[in-house]
Structures are given as structure tokens and as C-alpha cells.
Structure 1
Amino acid sequence: MKQLIFVLSLAFFSLWLVFRHYDTYQENEIRLGMSAALSGDLGGLGQSFYQGADAYFKDLNAKGGVHGRTIRLIAKDDQYEPKITLENVEDLIKNEHVFALFGVVGTPTVESILPLVHAYETPLIAPVTGASFLRNPYDPLILNVRKGYHQEIKALLSHLIDEKGFGRIAVFYQNDSFGHGGLHSVKELLKERGMRLVGEGSYKRNTLAVGHAIYELEATHPDAVIMIGAARPVVEFIRRSVTTSLSRATKAIVSFASAQTIMIDLQCVASNLIFSQVVPLPWNEGEALERYRQSMERHYSKASVGFASLEGYLAAQETAQLFASLGPRFSKKAFIKAMATQVSKQRNLKKEESHCGCLEKVYITQYRNEAFEVVSNE
């Protein structure tokens, strides 16, 4: 009997060792998969985020990677269309065998891939969206890096109402899950202040059909318009509203619409614009920002330094640090557990900010004297 127990124990221990061996990540490189608009109207945003992240990973790999492993970012173009995003992510998981998804751009696109994320238990790191459904309820497979849109909108409203004294707030939004989530946050935050939205107007994703929204909002005479959309439709709205009473309203633009793209398209002459950002000014002084700028110069010297590439760089840094914390032998389960630990490290989080991300502030900026400047942050 003792001999049988010994044999069974030995067999169990051997199986445990085999399981541990195959459960531990064995490859010499860590592949991360990204689906984003790399062409079309949103191509600049996707490319910039990719360039910032890739620049960080290239510098890291040149120094030996993480415990001897290199990190490779595989990016696929989805033109900001959820159907293509779904196809890209399925290919990245099944054929490229990525360890995790990283930097998937856009709310409706990320929403479309969540069933795949859960079906294959694939970590989703640093999605480029502030959607509330990625933050509450908490999902152990998702690690957000940027602040949520709820916090961005809260900071914009604080600036518009508390600092500027505006009382009439309207919303221009993209008519999908991205815009609907932002619209809900505006209404909720205004309700907390005993205020109501004076008007709302929308446009269809990947179009410039903003005329009806302008017509709807002009009649409401807002002091400010919260703009929850992509850069090109936002620019179209601003251009076409110049000849209307909306020209006097402050346009408060959520970070997903690239501030740099907007100012370039408007030839830097538009006034009454403010932008929420989830990273500090990329041109500021500081060792970390200097490293980012030097990295971009080494690997993407023709690209412009900016908010999106800085976000990609910082997200890549956060991801690499997470892998480094695990040591040379780790499993996917261990990585997912470490993601949860990373979330728990967030400091001074309010209830609505739970599971928000590692970048701790929202910066309200404006473009003046040929440069962006921070007018408030929280």
C-alpha cells in the first residue's frame, strides 16, 4: 500500500512538473497584437500611438529586452471599423499567437472584440479609449492605462462651469457606443450639479455628416459644446459653424480627437477651443519626457512629437515593467494576476474612477501663441 501511494505521489509530482513547464511561457519573444486605424481619417492617431509604443520597445530590445526576451508589437489596420477589428484580432490570436492585445484604438472597435478576449483569455492592455464599460465593473483581463472619458468630461465641465462661469452646456457626439457613453457622463455630471443639458447633436461614425447637429445646437444658444468625436468631424463642425451663433460658444474637445490634427486642419487660427488630454505636454521639461523625445528621434525622426505617441510610449513602458516584475519564468495566469495588482496600486481613486489607469491626471489645454499650454489639471 505504501509503495502504491509512493508511485502515485511520484506520478502526480511528475505531472505537476510537466504542467508547470508547459504552463510557463517558453518563447524567446513576447508578441503583442494591436488593431487600430492606420489609414483613413483616424490613421494619424493609430500610427502615432504605434510609433510611440514601438519606439519604447525598440530601445528596450536593444538593451536585451525583458529578462532576455524581446517584445514585438504587431499592428493591423482596421480603419476604425469594428468588423475589421474583430477579424484582425482573431488573426492576431489564432495565427500570430500573441500573448496579449495592446493599444487597440477606439470604443466601438474595442467593444466588438471583448467576446474574443474572454473566449481566449487574452489580456487587453492599454486600449485607446476611455469607455466606462472597460472600467466598471472590473474585468481582470483588462488593464487601462489612460484616464476614462468620465474623468475627462468632469475636468472639462469643472473648467467651463467653475472657472469660466458657463451655464448652458450642449454636446456634439459620435452616434455609437463612444458618443453615447460620453453623452451619458455629461448628463450625469450635470445632474449632480443640479443642471441640465441644453441641447445635443450627433453624426455617424466615419462620416462628416455634421450639418443636422449644427442646426439642432444652434437653436439652443449654448455657452459651450462638449465635443465627443473624432478629429475630422470635429473640424468639420467647427468650420461649418463659423457663420452661425455657435461660433461664439467654447468648443471643449475630448482627447480622442487629436488636438494637433485639429489645429493643423484649422491652420491654427480657430479660437474658443479647449482640449482634455490624458498625458502631460510632450514638449515639457523632465527626464521621462526627454527620453521619450530622444526615442522618437532615433526611430521615427520624421514623425511629430505629440500626445498620442507619448501615450503609446508610456503604455509600452507600463507593459514592459509589468513583464519585468514577473521574473524570467511566468505564465499567462501570473501575468493576469499581476495586472490586477497593478490596478490595485492606483492612488487616491474616487468611486467613479475605480480601475482607471496609471496616468493620474487630466490636463485641460488650449492652443495659444503657436503652442499648446495647460490651463488647468486635476
Structure 2
Amino acid sequence: MRPDRRRALQRLVGGCMAVASSNALTAESALAGDILLGQSAPLTGPLAKTTTQFNQGALAWLKQVNDRGGIKGRAFRMQTLDDSGWAEQGEVNAKLLVAEHGAHALFGFMGASACLSCARIAEQEGVLFVAPVTGSSALREASLPSTFLMRPSHDDEVRQVVKHGATIGYKRIDLLFDYNAQGFSIRNSFEEACQHANILRHRSVSMARLDDDVRQAVARLSPSKSEAIILACSHAVSGAFIEAFRAAGFGGAFYALSTVDANRLVETITSQAVGVHFVQAVPYPWSKSRRVTADFLTFSQRHAIQPDFASLEGYLAARWLTHVVERTTKPAELKLAFQGAPPLELGGFRLALEPGLRSASRFVELATINRELRFIR
């Protein structure tokens, strides 16, 4: 670890951790038999807005359950520790949430903390790791019996994008991906999906995660031949590539996987983001065409929530959690409750852990940025 990061990490660990919830975990709530949830997520830094949005939906649902008497008399309490987007701090937070705060489950881990190492800490500590906000294939491939995922994998996302492109007639689809284990997993799924969709002309190019010099990638993915580009990088790399590729004459489509933070990308390249398609793991939240989103819009108005994709995901994750806990309020039995929980049917959105699948949902939908820099379907 770099010395400056080490010093900053030591200051964070030694100081007072930021807490985001009026329902902080306390010794009194533990004695009262409450169900204690712990979360590590960015409360500061570039991804703080997404954390705030997710938590608005989740905490509002948990509050509604508590206001109605909880589940079998037990209320939910949730505490969030700030990791500022650092994986190292997320690991520290995961241990603190269990050892110091008595969390029964680690819930809604976000950003760098939604990772394999934090899931393994949950296994070691004997608590659940529920609904991390990530499509990481590593969490789906490792042996993690206490990890319960809600959203689809990045592999599911890229397969759906290739299928969509083939359906509308693209003959050449290319991929820009991060030079890391997750990126190469996405690349493998991309190549399999292209073969299955009979897209014979495709190319994959990797980028160093923190490298925004995209000239070499632009040269390798010729704008004159590409019809669609799938972006599986950070928002900074993706934004730089979009600007450079457009400037080189590309007039085709961009598809951004959930590895790209949509809010940050739009803030970074503004009007150049118009027309970019973003993969979403939950339905379009501003429409009443599905019962799940119609219910969410009514819920958002009642609880003064700004509806968006992240707040809807938090709301759905919390509903899934409370749906499972209805089967048992004993922390020691929560794993069995998840494994045997019946499907949660919400009207146009279904959550079910089925044999052979590690995620409760494989829902994938595309949303596009319009000229007002807002999402449309």
C-alpha cells in the first residue's frame, strides 16, 4: 500500500467512523433483540451519491417495517461505516461491524467493499453477506455459503447486451475492458456471447484501470469498422474513450456495463454522454408500467425519496431481506432462511434463489441518456 494511503487509513481506523443512519447499532438495541445490519460504503468521495441513494430506499423500507412493529417484535437497525471507496478500509469496516457493533449481517456493501475479501470476512465471522451492489463474477464463483446476491453478474450483463445488439442487426461489436481478473472474466463471456449470437466480427481491448490515455485503444478499435462498443471500465476511462472515439469519427452505439458509474460519467463528459446505453439491474424507476415500480413511486412520495435506480435497488434489497427474515428472527437460522425462502414476486420483478444460480435476479434492462442528461427507456 502507498505510504500516503497507509497514513490515511490509519487515521480513519483510529478516528471516529462516519455513521449514516438514525438507527445506529447500539448495545441497547442488541439487548432488545433487534436485527443488526452493518454496511461499508463510500459516504465520501466520488461514489457517495450512489450510497446515499441506495440507503434512502433501504432505510425507508426498514423504517416502515419497524413502524409496523418489526417482524415478530424485532426491529431492524443499520449502521454504515465510511470507506471512501477504498477496499482496504472496507475490510477493516467489515471486521469492526461484526466485532465492535455486533452486526448479524453485512448488508448492501457498495463500491470497492462489495468484494470477495469482505465476503470471506463475513464467512470467517459467521455472519451473512447480503445484497452487495456488484456484478463481480468472483463472488459468484467462490465457495461462499453465507453470501446471498441480488443483482445479476457482469457476465449476465454482457450477454444481454450482445443479444440486444445482434437482435437489432449489428455485425461488429467490440469490448473495452479493465486489465484485471474481473475484466478478463467479462471478456470471456463477451467472446462466448458473440459466438452464440453468430457475431463473427468482434474485438476486445484492455485498459489499465487508472490509465485514461486511450489513444492506443482508439487505434486498435477502428471507428470505421465498429458498430457498437461495450464499455466495462471505470467511468474515467470510459469517458475519455467515448470522447476520443467520437472525435475519431465513430457514430455507433456505446453500451456501459454496471462497472461504469453512470452519474459520474455524465458529470464528467456531459453532452458526450447523450445516447449512451447503461445496463441496469433493476427496472426503470420512473414508470408505472410494472407493479413493482408503481408501488415504489407511491412509496417514494410517501417517504420523500427521490426515485432513481440506486434508491430502487436499496428498497428492493431491503424488501428481500425482510421477506426472508419473516421465516425466522433467529440470527443463527438466517442462512437456512435464505436458502429455503420462497420467491418474492413484486409484479414485474422476481427475486428467487434457484438451484444452480448464485443471484436472486438475472434482470437486465437498458436505459439511455437523453439530451437533458436524464435516463429514458
Taking structure 1 as reference, are residues 84 and 142 closer, same or farther at Cα in structure 2, changes over 3 Å only? same
Equivalent residue letter for 2:193: L
Equivalent residue letter for 1:323: V
* Superposition map of 1:40-59 within 5 A: 40-59=45-64
The one of 306, 310, 314 aligned to 2:312: 310
Where does residue 326 of structure 2 map in the other structure? 324
Taking structure 1 as reference, are residues 298 and 154 closer, same or farther at Cα in structure 2, changes over 3 Å only? same
Taking structure 1 as reference, are residues 244 and 269 closer, same or farther at Cα in structure 2, changes over 3 Å only? closer
CA distance in structure 2 between the aligned counterparts of 1:83 and 1:122, rounded to whole angstroms: 20
Structure 2 residue 348 is the aligned partner of structure 1 residue 355: no
Does the Cα contact within 8 Å between 1:41 and 1:232 map onto a contact in 2? no
Does the Cα contact within 8 Å between 2:40 and 2:109 map onto a contact in 1? yes
Larger RCO (alpha carbons 8 Å, 6+ apart): 1
Taking structure 1 as reference, are residues 178 and 77 closer, same or farther at Cα in structure 2, changes over 3 Å only? farther
Does the Cα contact within 8 Å between 1:169 and 1:199 map onto a contact in 2? no
CA distance in structure 2 between the aligned counterparts of 1:283 and 1:347, rounded to whole angstroms: 20
Taking structure 1 as reference, are residues 35 and 169 closer, same or farther at Cα in structure 2, changes over 3 Å only? same
Taking structure 1 as reference, are residues 299 and 229 closer, same or farther at Cα in structure 2, changes over 3 Å only? farther
* 1:244 shift after superposition: 1.4
Where does residue 334 of structure 2 map in the other structure? 335
CA distance in structure 1 between the aligned counterparts of 2:310 and 2:148, rounded to whole angstroms: 18
CA RMSD in angstroms comes to: 3.1
* 1:208 shift after superposition: 4.5
Does the Cα contact within 8 Å between 2:339 and 2:353 map onto a contact in 1? no
Equivalent residue letter for 2:67: A
Where does residue 9 of structure 1 map in the other structure? none
SS at match of 2:283: coil
Taking structure 1 as reference, are residues 36 and 175 closer, same or farther at Cα in structure 2, changes over 3 Å only? farther
* 1:191 shift after superposition: 3.4
Write out per-residue CA displacement over residues 240-281 of structure 1, whole angstroms, 9 at most, x where no aligned residue: 433113x32311111343434434544356444212111111
Write out per-residue CA displacement over residues 274-330 of structure 1, whole angstroms, 9 at most, x where no aligned residue: 1211111110115543443454455555xx42111111110011001111122x5x2
The one of 219, 222, 226 aligned to 2:226: 222
Does the Cα contact within 8 Å between 2:119 and 2:144 map onto a contact in 1? no
Deviates more, 1:287-296 or 1:80-89: 287-296
Where does residue 365 of structure 1 map in the other structure? 367
* 1:347 shift after superposition: 8.6
Write out per-residue CA displacement over residues 225-250 of structure 1, whole angstroms, 9 at most, x where no aligned residue: 111133343233323433113x3231
Where does residue 195 of structure 2 map in the other structure? 191
Structure 1 length normalisation: TM-score? 0.78
* 1:200 shift after superposition: 0.8
* 1:190 shift after superposition: 2.1
Where does residue 170 of structure 1 map in the other structure? 174
The one of 276, 281, 284 aligned to 1:278: 281
CA distance in structure 2 between the aligned counterparts of 1:266 and 1:72, rounded to whole angstroms: 39
Does the Cα contact within 8 Å between 2:54 and 2:313 map onto a contact in 1? yes
Structure 2 length normalisation: TM-score? 0.79
Taking structure 1 as reference, are residues 78 and 180 closer, same or farther at Cα in structure 2, changes over 3 Å only? farther
Structure 2 residue 258 is the aligned partner of structure 1 residue 255: yes
CA distance in structure 1 between the aligned counterparts of 2:186 and 2:141, rounded to whole angstroms: 15
SS at match of 2:155: helix
Unaligned stretches of 5+ residues in structure 2: 1-29, 345-349
Structure 1 segments of 4+ aligned residues over 6 angstroms from their partners: 343-351
Structure 2 residue 242 is the aligned partner of structure 1 residue 243: no
Structure 2 residue 111 is the aligned partner of structure 1 residue 83: no
* 1:363 shift after superposition: 1.0
Does the Cα contact within 8 Å between 2:265 and 2:273 map onto a contact in 1? no
Equivalent residue letter for 2:310: A
CA distance in structure 2 between the aligned counterparts of 1:71 and 1:99, rounded to whole angstroms: 11
Where does residue 120 of structure 2 map in the other structure? 115
Does the Cα contact within 8 Å between 1:274 and 1:366 map onto a contact in 2? yes
Does the Cα contact within 8 Å between 1:108 and 1:176 map onto a contact in 2? no
